[in-house]
Structure 1
Amino acid sequence: MVEAVFFDVGSTLIRPCPSVAETMARAAAERGHALTVRDFELHMPAMDAYYEAEYLRDGDFWCSHEGSTAIWLDQYRYVCHLAGIGHDAEGMAAAVNEAYRHASSWEVYADVAGCLRALKERGLALGVVSNWDAELEDLLRGLKLLPYFDTVVSSAAVGYRKPNPVIFDLACEQLGVRPGACAHVGDRPDADGDGAQAAGIRPVIVDRHGAEPDCPYDRVETLADVPGFL
Structure 2
Amino acid sequence: MVEAVLFDVGSTLVYPSPSVAETFARVARERGHALTVRDIEPHMPAMDAFYEAEYLRDGDFWCSHEGSVAIWLDQYRYVCHLAGIAHDADGMAAAVHEAYRKGDHWALYPDVAGCLRTLKRQGLMLGVVSNWDAGLEGLLRDLRLLPYFDAVVSSAVVGYRKPDPVIFDLACEELGVAASRVVHVGDRPDADGDGAHAAGIRPVIVDRHGAEAGCGYEVVETLTDVPKLLEE
Instruction: Provide the TM-score with structure 2 as the length reference.
Output: 0.99
Q: 1:149: which partner in 2? A: 149
Quote the residue 1:167 is aligned against.
167
**Counterparts of residues 21-60 of structure 1 (less than 5 Å):** 21-60=21-60
Alignment of 1:50-89 (within 5 A): 50-89=50-89
Q: Which residue of 2 aligns with 1:19?
A: 19
Alpha-carbon distance in structure 1 between the residues aligned to 2:34 and 2:42: 15
CA distances 1:115-159 after superposition (whole Å, capped 9, x unpaired): 000000010000000000001000000000000000000000000
Are residue 98 (structure 1) and residue 98 (structure 2) matched? yes
- Paired amino acid for 2:129: V
Please name the residue that 1:184 is paired with: 184
Q: Secondary structure at the match of 2:163?
A: coil
Report how far residue 107 of structure 1 moved: 0.3
Provide Cα deviations, 1:80-125, integer angstroms capped at 9, x if missing partner.
0001000000000000000000000000111000000000001000
SS in 2 for 1:127: strand
Letter in 2 for 1:48: D
**How many percent of aligned residue pairs carry the same amino acid?**
79
Deviation at 1:38, TM superposition (A): 1.3
Runs of 4+ in 1 over 6 A off after TM superposition: none
The one-letter code of the counterpart of 1:211 is A
What amino acid is aligned across from residue 21 of structure 1 in structure 2? A
3-state secondary structure, aligned to 1:58 = helix
The TM-score, its normalising length taken from structure 1, stands at 0.99
> What is the letter of the counterpart of residue 218 of structure 2?
D
Q: Which residue of 2 aligns with 1:207?
A: 207
Q: What is the letter of the counterpart of residue 171 of structure 1?
A: A
Tell me the distance in 2 between the aligned counterparts of 1:28 and 1:102: 19
Deviation at 1:214, TM superposition (A): 1.5
Secondary structure at 2:126's aligned position in 1? strand
Secondary structure of residue in 2 paired with 1:9: coil
Q: Which stretches in structure 1 are left out of the alignment for 5+ residues?
A: none
Q: CA deviation at 1:211?
A: 1.6
Distance 1:158 1:136 in 2: 12
Measure, in 1, the Cα distance between the counterparts of 2:53 and 2:3. 36
1:119 match: 119
Deviations 1:140-199 (A, max 9, x none): 000000000000000000000000000000000000000000000000000000000000
Query: What amino acid maps onto 1:166 in structure 2?
Result: V
Distance in 1, matches of 2:211 and 2:103, equals 27
